[in-house]
Chains A and B, each alone.
Chain A
Amino acid sequence: MTLARFVSKNAFRNKRRSVLTVLSIAFSLLLLTLMMTIWRAFYLDEGSAESAQRLVVRHRVSLTFSLPAYYREKIRSLPGVVAVVPVSWFGGIYKDQKPENFFAQFGTDPEEFFKVFRDVAIPADQVTAWQRDRQGVIVDDTLANKYGWKLGDRIILQGTIYPVNPELNIRGIFHAVPDDKSVYFNAKYVEEAVPWFKGKAGTFSILAASPADVSKVSSAIDDMFRNSPQPTKAESEKAFGLEFVAMMGNVKAFILSICMAVVFAILLVSANTMAMSIRERTREVAVLKTLGFTRQTVLGLFIGEAMALALAGGLIGTAFGYLLVYALTHSPQFFSFFNMKVTLGIWLSAMVASGFVGFLSAFIPSYHASQVNIVDGLRHIG
Chain B
Amino acid sequence: MAIPLSYNIRNLRLRKGLTIMTALGIALTVTTAIFIMALLAGLKRAFVTSGDSQNVLVLRKGSEAELSGGFDAANFPVLKNLPGIAKDSHGEPMASGEWVVVIVLPRKDGTGEVNVTVRGMMPDGLELRPKVKLVEGRWFTPGQREVVVSESIHKRFSNANVGDTLAFGKGPWQVVGVFDAGGSAYDSEIWGDVNQMATDFDRQGGFSSAYLRAADPVSAQSLKNRVGDDQRLKLEGMLETEYYAKQTSSGAPIRIIGWIVAVIMAIGSSFAAMNTMYAAVAYRGREIATLRVIGFSKPSILTSFVLESLLLSLLGALVGIVLMLPFNGMTTGTSNAVTFSEIVFSLRMTMPVVITAVAFALIMGLFGGIAPAWHAARRDIIAALRD
Chain A positions 244-281 with a Cβ under 8 Å from a chain B Cβ: 244, 246-250, 258, 261-262, 264-266, 268-269, 271-273, 275-276
By a CB distance below 8 angstroms, the chain A residues around B341 are 62
User: B68 to A62, Cβ gap below 8 A?
Assistant: no
Does chain A have a CB within 8 A of B313? no
By a CB distance below 8 angstroms, the chain A residues around B334 are 247-249
User: A265 to B268, Cβ gap below 8 A?
Assistant: yes
By a CB distance below 8 angstroms, the chain B residues around A47 are none
Contact A63-B112, Cβ < 8 Å, known A24-B269, A31-B264, A265-B29: no
Stretch at the interface among A110-118, A153-161, A350-358: A153-161
**CB-defined interface of B123-160 with A at 8 Å, one 1/0 digit per residue?**
00000000000000000000000000000000000000
User: Distance (Å) between the CB of B384 and the closest chain A CB?
Assistant: 16
Chain A positions 224-253 with a Cβ under 8 Å from a chain B Cβ: 229, 243-244, 246-250
CA distance A286 to B283 in the complex (A): 21
User: Distance (Å) between the CB of B262 and the closest chain A CB?
Assistant: 10
User: B268 to A272, Cβ gap below 8 A?
Assistant: no
**CB-defined interface of A148-180 with B at 8 Å, one 1/0 digit per residue?**
000000000011110100000000000000000
**CB-defined interface of A65-100 with B at 8 Å, one 1/0 digit per residue?**
100000000000000000000000001000001010
Picked from A63, A160, A248, the residue with its CB within 8 Å of the CB of B253 is: A248
User: Distance (Å) between the CB of B51 and the closest chain A CB?
Assistant: 19
By a CB distance below 8 angstroms, the chain A residues around B269 are 24, 265
Chain B positions 33-79 with a Cβ under 8 Å from a chain A Cβ: 60, 62-65, 67-68
Does chain B have a CB within 8 A of A341? no
User: B115 to A272, Cβ gap below 8 A?
Assistant: no
Picked from B22, B25, B29, B340, the residue with its CB within 8 Å of the CB of A64 is: B340
By a CB distance below 8 angstroms, the chain B residues around A99 are 249, 252
Q: Which of A17, A64, A65, A250 has the most CB of B within 10 A?
A: A64
Contact A24-B271, Cβ < 8 Å, known A62-B101, A63-B340: yes
Does chain A have a CB within 8 A of B276? yes
User: Distance (Å) between the CB of B176 and the closest chain A CB?
Assistant: 22
Does chain A have a CB within 8 A of B103? yes
**Closest residue of A by beta carbon distance from B339:** A64
By a CB distance below 8 angstroms, the chain A residues around B32 are 258, 261
User: A268 to B111, Cβ gap below 8 A?
Assistant: no
Picked from B65, B201, B268, the residue with its CB within 8 Å of the CB of A28 is: B268
CA distance A214 to B116 in the complex (A): 28
User: B275 to A21, Cβ gap below 8 A?
Assistant: yes
User: B275 to A61, Cβ gap below 8 A?
Assistant: no
Does chain A have a CB within 8 A of B356? no
CA distance A61 to B272 in the complex (A): 51
CA distance A300 to B335 in the complex (A): 51
Chain B positions 333-381 with a Cβ under 8 Å from a chain A Cβ: 333-335, 340-342
Picked from B115, B271, B272, the residue with its CB within 8 Å of the CB of A268 is: B272
Contact A16-B278, Cβ < 8 Å, known A27-B267, A265-B25, A268-B272: yes
CA distance A249 to B17 in the complex (A): 38
Contact A247-B29, Cβ < 8 Å, known A20-B271, A60-B104, A265-B268: no
Picked from A26, A34, A272, the residue with its CB within 8 Å of the CB of B22 is: A272
Picked from A16, A24, A62, A271, the residue with its CB within 8 Å of the CB of B115 is: A62
Does chain B have a CB within 8 A of A143? no
CA distance A99 to B249 in the complex (A): 9
**Closest residue of A by beta carbon distance from B25:** A268
By a CB distance below 8 angstroms, the chain A residues around B25 are 265, 268-269, 272
Does chain B have a CB within 8 A of A56? no
Q: Which of B65, B101, B267 has the most CB of A within 10 A?
A: B267
User: Distance (Å) between the CB of B241 and the closest chain A CB?
Assistant: 18
CA distance A17 to B332 in the complex (A): 42
User: A273 to B275, Cβ gap below 8 A?
Assistant: yes
CA distance A276 to B264 in the complex (A): 25
By a CB distance below 8 angstroms, the chain A residues around B18 are 272, 275-276
Contact A268-B21, Cβ < 8 Å, known A62-B101, A62-B115, A160-B63: yes
Q: Which of B67, B101, B271, B332 has the most CB of A within 10 A?
A: B271
User: A62 to B102, Cβ gap below 8 A?
Assistant: yes
**Closest residue of A by beta carbon distance from B341:** A62
User: B267 to A247, Cβ gap below 8 A?
Assistant: no
**CB-defined interface of A11-55 with B at 8 Å, one 1/0 digit per residue?**
000001100110111111011001000000000000000000000
Does chain A have a CB within 8 A of B24? yes
Does chain A have a CB within 8 A of B162? no
- Could you list some 20 contacts between A and B, CB below 8 A? A17-B275, A20-B278, A21-B271, A24-B272, A25-B268, A28-B264, A30-B264, A31-B264, A60-B104, A62-B341, A99-B252, A159-B62, A161-B68, A163-B62, A247-B115, A248-B334, A249-B332, A258-B261, A261-B31, A276-B18
Interface residues in chain B, defined as those with a beta carbon under 8 Å from any beta carbon in chain A: 17-18, 21-22, 24-25, 28-29, 31-32, 60, 62-65, 67-68, 101-104, 111-115, 168-170, 201-202, 249, 252-254, 260-261, 264-265, 267-269, 271-272, 274-276, 278-279, 332-335, 340-342
